[in-house]
Amino acid sequence: MQEDLKTELDVILGEISQNYCKNERYILTESDLVNETYSCIRQSGILRKYGLSMHTEIRPYEPKKDKVIRNKDWEKLEQINYAAKFDLVLVDDDEKYWKITRTRIAQAQTGTDSKLKYWRFLLYPVESFRAVIEFKVRVKGNRKNIRKDIKKMKALHIKNNECLKYLVILDRVAPKISVNSILDELKEEDYIQKVIVN
């Protein structure tokens, strides 16, 4: 399944990057890029085909140890808002993952397993992650954040090496030296799929 999903995501991200190259007004901000990708994935039918759901800004969570990614390592969950999140996530839509998520969020909000104060879900079990996509539309002055994204993906890979990991960088004016530096950093991280257009 993962190989087929990868093939379909590669096609979608390839088409988005081609459209970006053809039309300078196609994507202006990182939010544009996230929204366009979200829309293209939803329209493609792959969510239904593979039994997935898609969310933005979700944090991977390790239920057995009550840990999340913080900075670059897995740490005890203290405050949900300080955990690392991914721009776009495809998760397994299985009911068992939903129950784990709902229970943990209810505990965080009210101290009880059954009641929710408000409908805001930020965590999902790491084993349910099937693909994550991190986006950047600016390289210059943003290298620190790109490195953080790479470190988050490394930490995720330790707990779920089956999950597809994508780093999408679309920047028409990125200095060649900066792009090459990012590519050098990614050489050892061959599990991270790269879509870089400059």
pLDDT digits (tens, 9 = 90+) for 7-41: 999 999 999 999 998 988 888 889 999 999 999 99
Band of pLDDT at residue 93, cut at 50, 70 and 90: very high
- How far is it, in rounded angstroms, from Cα 97 to Cα 95? 5
Number of C-beta neighbours around residue 54 at 10 A: 19
Contact 73, 108 (CB under 8 A): no
Write down the pLDDT at residue 71: 64
pLDDT at 171 over 80: yes
Q: Which of 57, 67, 63 is nearest to 99 (CA)?
A: 63
Contact 44, 8 (CB under 8 A): yes
Average pLDDT for 49-71:
85
- How far is it, in rounded angstroms, from Cα 158 to Cα 148? 16
Tokens representing 187 are 């050489």
pLDDT digits (tens, 9 = 90+) for 125-146: 999 999 999 999 988 888 889 9
Contact 174, 139 (CB under 8 A): yes
What is the tally of structural domains in the chain?
1
* Cα R_g (the chain), whole angstroms: 17
Residue 13: which domain range? 2-197
- How far is it, in rounded angstroms, from Cα 139 to Cα 198? 9
Write down the pLDDT at residue 80: 63
| DSSP code of residue 22 | H
